[in-house]
Amino acid sequence: MVDCCVFEAPGQRLMFTFPEIDPIIFQIGPLAIRWYGLMYVIGFVFAWWLAKKRCARADSPITAEQVDDLIFYAMLGVIVGGRLGYSLVYGIEEWLDDPLYVFKITEGGMSFHGGLLGVIVAMYFTGRKVGQSMWAILDFVAPLVPLGLGFGRIGNFINGELWGKPTDVPWGVEYRGQVLHPTQLYEALLEGFVLFAILWWFSSKPRPRFAVSGLFLLLYGVFRFYIEFYRVPDAHLSYLLWDWVTMGQVLSLPMIVAGVGMLVYAYRKPQEAEA
């Protein structure tokens, strides 16, 4: 393992050297506990805790007794949808070569957009089970999600993956001889902690149906689209158009459009949105 360091030599800028961290925290026989998986667990624990706090409100669509089922189904949606989404969009060639590739979670990763679709499906069935509309459940869940996204990106940073482009900014990270944008930490900050703060504040008062979910889609899409300018695209996909458009940006555009449309509809026709 390489020791990480922060130094400031005369006439030079601050530098942080990335430590080569073993992605496995510890292993007992075939069971391996990984940093990336631990970050997901932390995210779900926070989501459960926040849901317990939020369900005490009079306008909550679920009760405290229903929170455990909600988080369980959300976990299934994230894991199944995220893995399927990654395999379809980023690892389709590997999946065609090996039908079991989708189950090899240590090869490749998880797709946020696939996980989002998985959560939407899970919340549809959750809504039916508790007698609420899918959108009421999604508006409740949206503020719970960003912290998990933030911790997940910290997991990416620990794993030394999803780096940004070479840079000379003072906060660049030296990784294997190059100074790179730590785009995992940019995403952890914007898509995770900043998005959480905004959504938690926005949803602290009753809002029209679709408004909270719409704001989540809009802000996440904008943050992700922006950070993609600094992030290196997947090597096998590269840039899709004009030497700067990435798959992440293409997948984020529908989120931005949908978010704007939902917010406009929520505030222009709140009674119809509620119905």
Percent of the chain with pLDDT over 70: 89
**How distant, in Å, are the alpha carbons of 105, 162, 183, 244 from that of 233?**
20, 8, 11, 9
| pLDDT at site 16 | 80
Percent of the chain with pLDDT over 90: 59
CA dihedral (184, 190, 191, 193) positive or negative = positive
Mean pLDDT value across residues 95-107: 77
pLDDT tens-digit series, residues 57-97 = 988 999 999 999 999 999 999 989 888 888 887 777 778 88
The residue extents of the domains of the chain are 6-274
Residue type, 251: L
pLDDT tens-digit series, residues 188-216 = 999 999 999 999 999 999 999 999 999 99
Higher-scoring residue by pLDDT: 269, 75: 75
Mean pLDDT value across residues 100-104: 79
Mean pLDDT value across residues 217-233: 94
Token pair in block for residue 126: 């959750």
| pLDDT at site 271 | 67
For residues 204 and 193, what is the distance between their CA atoms, to the nearest angstrom? 16
Mean pLDDT value across residues 160-164: 90
For the ranges 113-117, 128-132, 268-272, which has the lowest average pLDDT? 268-272
pLDDT band at 272 (very low <50, low <70, confident <90, very high): low
Q: What is the enclosing helix (H) or strand (E) of 16?
A: strand 15-17
- The burial class, CB within 10 Å (0-12 / 13-18 / 19+), for 15 is middle
| pLDDT at site 1 | 42
